[in-house]
Amino acid sequence: MRRFLAFFAVLMLSGLLASAQSRVISGQVRDIPGEPVKFATVTETGTKNMVQTDANGSFSIRVAGTNSTLTVTAVGYDAQVVTPSGTTAIANLVRNTQEMTAVVVTSLGQVRQKSSLGYSTATVKTKELTQANPVNLQNGLVGKVSGLNVATTNSGVLGTTRITLRGIRSLTGNNQPMLVIDGVPTPLGFLNSLNPNDIADVSLLKSASATVVYGPDGVNGAIIVTTKRGSKQKPMITVSQTTQFEKIAYMPEFQDRFGSGYNQDANTGQGTFTPYEQQSWGDEFDGSIRQMGQTGPNGEKLLLPYSNVANGRKNFFQTGITSQTDISYSTGDFYLSAQNVSITGTLPGDRNDRKTVAMNASKEYNRFKASFNARLTNSKYDVTTANAQTYYNVTGAPGQYDLSRFKNWRSDYFSSPDGYFTPYLTNFFRTPYMAKDINRQKGKTNDVIGNVELNYKATNWLNFVYRIGGSATFGDAKSTTEAYTPSAYHLTLTDASATTISAAASYASSNSSRFSSELFANFNTKYKKLGITGTIGQSFRQANSVNLGLGSGNLGQSTFLSIQNRIGEPSVSAGSSISRLSRWFANASFNWDGWANLEVTGSYDKDSKNAPTDGSTFANSDISYFYPGVNASVLLHKVIPALESNKYISYLKLRGAYSKTGNVPLVAQESPTFSIGTFFPYGSTLGYNVPTSIYKRQFNPEFVYNKEVGIELGLMKNKINFEATYYSQNNTDQVLDLALANSTGYTTSKLNAAEFNNNGLELDLKLTPIFKMGDLSIDFKANYTYQTSKVTKLVDGLNQIGIGNYNWVIVGQPVYKFRVFDYIRDSATGKVIVGADGMPTVNPNLTTFGRTTPNNILGLSLNANYKGFSLSVVAEYRGGNQIVVDQLGAFLDDNGISTRSAQYGRRAFVWPNSVTYDGTKYVENTNVYTTQYNREFWNSDLNTTAITNYLVSGAFWKLREVSLTYELPNRLFKGNNVLRGITVGITGRNLLTWLPKTNQWTDPEFSSNGNSAFTGNAQGRSTAYNLPPTRIFGANVVFQF
Amino acid sequence: MKLINIKKLALVSTSMLVLATGCKTDFDINASEENLTAGSLNYRDVMPSAIASTAKIVAADWKFLQNWLGYWARSGNYQNDTEEESYTFTNTFPGGGGNPWNDLYYNSSSYNFVQQRAQASGDGFYEAICRIMKSHNFQILTDVYGNIPYKEALKGNDVRNPKYDNGVDIYNDIFRQLDTAIAILKDPAKTDPSKNGKIATNDLVFKGNPALWVKFANTLKLRMLVHCKGGGVEVGDAEYTTSGVDIAAEMAIINAEGSGFLGAGETAKINPGYSASKPSPLYRFFALNENGVLAGLGDLTKANAFACGLGTAGTPGYYRWNGDPREGKFYVKPDLNPDAGVFQPATYQKGIPYGAVSGFAPGYTGVDLSSINVINLTAPNTGLTPQGPSSDSWILSSVESLFLQAEAAHRGIITGDAESLLTSAIRESFVFMGLTTAQADTYISNNATYPDVDYNADALDPSLPGGGLFTILSQKWFALNGIATYEIWTDFRRTNIVYGAGGGYDVVNAGIWANQLSILGGAAAEIPVRLFYPQSEYSYNEANVSAQGTIDVFTSKIFWDR
**Predicted pLDDT at A106:** 82
Look at residue A6 in the predicted model and tell me its pLDDT: 40
Name the pLDDT band for A410 (thresholds 50, 70, 90). very high
Q: In whole angstroms, give the CA distance from residue A486 to residue A419.
A: 10
The answer on pLDDT for B345 being more than 70 is no
Query: Which residues on chain B are in Cβ contact (under 8 Å) with A464?
Result: 12, 16
A183 Ramachandran zone, left/alpha/beta (phi>0; psi -120 to 50): left
What is the DSSP pairing of strand A817-823 with strand A842-851?
antiparallel
Partner-chain contact A554 B277, CB within 8 Å: yes
Q: How confident is the model at residue A927 (pLDDT cuts 50, 70, 90)?
A: very high
Of A68-82, A680-694, A928-942, B273-287, least confident by mean pLDDT is A68-82
| CB-CB under 8 Å, B27 with A623 | yes
Q: Pick the residue of B21, B25, B27, B111 with the most A CBs within 10 A to test the interface with A by mutation.
A: B27
Contact across the interface for B277 and A692, Cβ inside 8 Å: no
pLDDT average, residue stretch A820-847: 92
What pLDDT does residue B16 have? 56
Q: Determine the pLDDT at residue B335.
A: 65
Q: Do B201 and A684 touch (CB under 8 A)?
A: yes
Q: Are strands A914-917 and A832-833 parallel, antiparallel or unpaired?
A: parallel
Facing residue for B541 by CB, picked from A615, A743, A751: A743
3-state secondary structure of B560: coil
pLDDT per residue as tens digits for the range B361-403? 666 766 778 888 776 666 667 788 888 899 999 999 999 999 9
**How far does A1001 lie from chain B, in Å, by closest CA?**
26
With beta carbons under 8 A apart, name residues in chain A contacting B112.
745
* Mean pLDDT across B507-535: 54
- Which member of B162, B290, B539 has the closest CB to residue A739? B539
The span from the CA of A1003 to the CA of A954, in Å, is 9
- A496:B366 CB<8 A: yes
Lowest-pLDDT range of A89-93, B84-88, B230-234, B402-406: B84-88
Cβ contact B16–A521 (<8 Å): yes
pLDDT (0 to 100) of residue B89: 66
Q: What is the pLDDT of residues B80-126, one digit of tens each?
A: 666 676 666 666 677 656 789 999 999 999 999 999 999 999 999 99
The pLDDT assigned to A51 comes to 81
**What does the pLDDT average to over B312-329?**
80
pLDDT of the residue at A33: 53
pLDDT of residue B510 exceeding 80: no
pLDDT value at position A348? 92
Strands A88-93 and A23-31 turn out to be parallel
Q: Which residues of B touch A556 (CB under 8 A)?
A: 292
Amino acid in the structure at residue B313: A
DSSP B300-337: HEEEBHHHHB-SSTT-B-HHHHTT-TTHHHHEE--S--
User: Does the structure show a pLDDT above 70 at A806?
Assistant: yes
A540: nearest CA partner in chain B: B20
B272–A458 CB contact, under 8 Å: no
Sheet of strand A914-917: strand arrangement: A832-833, A914-917, A922-924
Residue A637: per-residue pLDDT: 87
What pLDDT shows up at residue B361? 62
Contact A775, A800 (CB under 8 A): no
The model's pLDDT over A8-20, given as tens digits with 9 standing for 90+, comes to 343 333 333 334 4
Bridge partner residues of A452 (DSSP): A372, A468
For position A27, what pLDDT does the model report? 80
Please answer whether residues A868 and A972 qualify as being in contact, where contact means their C-beta atoms are separated by less than 8 angstroms. no
Chain B partners of A13 at a C-beta cutoff of 8 Å? 11
pLDDT tens sequence across A499-533 = 788 899 999 999 999 999 999 999 989 888 999 99
Give B336's pLDDT tier (boundaries 50, 70, 90).
low
pLDDT of residue B518: 40
Residue in A208, A216, A218, A222 with CA at minimum distance from that of residue A707: A208
The per-residue pLDDT for A1013 is 40
Q: Which residues in B lie closer than 8 A to residue A604 (C-beta atoms)? A: none
Find out whether A676 and A689 touch, Cβ atoms under 8 Å: yes
Q: Which of A567, A739, A746 sits opposite B109 (nearest CB)?
A: A746
Q: What count of other Cβ atoms lies within 10 Å of the Cβ of residue B88? A: 10
By Cβ distance, the residue of A7, A569, A582 closest to B277 is A569
By Cβ distance, the residue of A519, A671, A941 closest to B35 is: A671
Closest partner residue to B273 (CB to CB) among A462, A577, A682 is A682
- Identify from A3, A676, A744, A841 which residue to disrupt to test chain B contact, counting B C-beta atoms within 10 A and taking the largest count: A744
Instruction: Judge: A743–B41 Cβ closer than 8 Å, yes or no.
Output: no
Query: What's the pTM?
Result: 0.84
Out of A14, A687, A747, closest to residue B45 by CB: A687
Other CB atoms within 10 Å distance of the CB of residue A840: 21
Nearest chain A residue to B152 by CA distance is A744
Closest residue, chain A, to B336 (C-alpha): A492
State the pLDDT confidence band at B344, using cuts at 50, 70 and 90. very low
Cβ(A883)–Cβ(A1020) under 8 Å? yes
Please list every residue in chain B whose beta carbon sits closer than 8 Å to the beta carbon of residue A615: 31, 39-40
Q: What percentage of chain A reaches a pLDDT higher than 70? A: 95
- Cα–Cα dist A141/A176, whole Å: 14
Taking CA–CA distances from B11, the nearest residue in chain A reads: A10
If you average pLDDT over residues A957-973, what whole number do you get?
Answer: 88
Nearest to B540 among A456, A683, A741 (CB): A741
Name residue A458's amino acid.
A
Give me the pLDDT at residue B304, please.
83
pLDDT value of residue A381? 94
Looking at the complex, report in whole angstroms how far the Cα of residue B416 sits from the nearest Cα belonging to chain A: 40
Q: Do A685 and B11 touch (CB under 8 A)?
A: no
Asked if A211 and A205 count as a contact pair (C-beta separation under 8 A), the reply is yes
Q: Do A688 and B31 touch (CB under 8 A)?
A: no
Q: What is the mean pLDDT of residues A830-835?
A: 95
Cβ <8 Å between B291 and A554: yes
Instruction: Give the pLDDT score at A465.
Output: 93
How many CB atoms sit inside 10 A of residue B324's CB?
A: 22
Average pLDDT, chain A: 87
Amino acid of residue A558: S
Q: Report the SS3 class of residue B239.
A: strand
Contacting residues of A for B146, CB less than 8 Å apart? none
- What ranges in A338-451 are assigned the alpha helix state H? 387-395, 432-438
Name A188's Cβ contacts closer than 8 Å, sequence gap at least 6: A163, A176, A177, A178, A179
Q: How far is A577 from chain B (nearest CA, A)?
A: 7
Question: Worst-scoring range by mean pLDDT, A288-297, B334-343, B449-458?
Answer: B334-343
Quick check: A188 and A179 in contact, CB under 8 A? Answer: yes
* Segment among A344-358, A823-837, B525-539 with least mean pLDDT: B525-539
Question: How close B327 comes to chain A (CA, Å)?
Answer: 25
Interchain CB contacts (distance < 8 Å): A and B: 278
Give the model's pLDDT for residue B506.
31
Contact across the interface for B157 and A606, Cβ inside 8 Å: no
Alpha carbon of A672: minimum distance to chain B alpha carbons (Å): 7
Of A1016, A1029, A1034, give the one whose Cα is nearest residue A958. Answer: A1029
Mean of pLDDT values over B215-219: 98
When pLDDT is cut at 50, 70 and 90, the band that residue B524 belongs to is very low
The pLDDT of residue A917? 93
A742 to B106: CB separation less than 8 angstroms, yes or no: yes
Q: Do A674 and B204 touch (CB under 8 A)?
A: no
Of A122 and B57, the structure prediction assigns the larger pLDDT to B57
A254 touches A897 (CB < 8 A): yes
Q: Which residue has the higher pLDDT, A1017 or A700?
A: A700
**Does A469 have pLDDT greater than 50?**
yes
- Answer whether A613 sits within 8 Å of B32, measured CB to CB: yes
pLDDT for residue A157 is more than 70: yes
- Chain A hits for B11, Cβ within 8 Å: 10, 13-14
What's the average model confidence in pLDDT over B521-550? 80
Which residue in A has a C-alpha nearest to residue B35's C-alpha?
A673
Q: What is the mean pLDDT of residues A991-1007?
A: 91
pLDDT, position B14? 57
- B4, A17: Cβ pair inside 8 Å? yes
- Relative to beta strand B268-270, strand B239-241 is unpaired
Q: What is the DSSP string of B485-503?
A: HHHHHHHHHHHS-S---TT
Rounded mean pLDDT, A440-454: 94
| Chain A residue numbers touching B277 (CB-CB < 8 A) | 554, 567-569
Of A129, A122, A125, A116, nearest to A147 by C-alpha is: A122
- C-beta atoms of B27 and A263 within 8 A: no
Which chain B residue's Cα is nearest to A844? B90
Q: For the ranges A252-266, A536-550, A783-797, B449-463, which has the lowest average pLDDT?
A: B449-463
Give pLDDT, residue B495.
86
Strands across the sheet with A817-823, in order?
Answer: A800-804, A807-810, A817-823, A842-851
Among the partner residues B11, B108, B162, nearest to A14 by beta-carbon distance: B11
| The pLDDT value given to residue B11 | 57
Residue A65 has pLDDT above 80, yes or no: no
**Lowest-confidence range among A8-22, A311-325, A412-426, A688-702?**
A8-22
Q: How confident is the model at residue B505, as a pLDDT? A: 32
| Top-confidence residue, A144 or A850 | A850
Could you tell me the pLDDT band of residue B504, with boundaries at 50, 70 and 90? very low
CB contact under 8 A, B29 and A554: no
Cβ(A789)–Cβ(A759) below 8 Å = yes
Per cent of chain B over pLDDT 70 is 80
Q: Which of A9, A611, A941 sits opposite B30 (nearest CB)?
A: A611
- Distance from C-alpha of A765 to C-alpha of A785, rounded to nearest angstrom: 12
Lowest-confidence region among A253-257, A475-479, A828-832, B311-315: B311-315
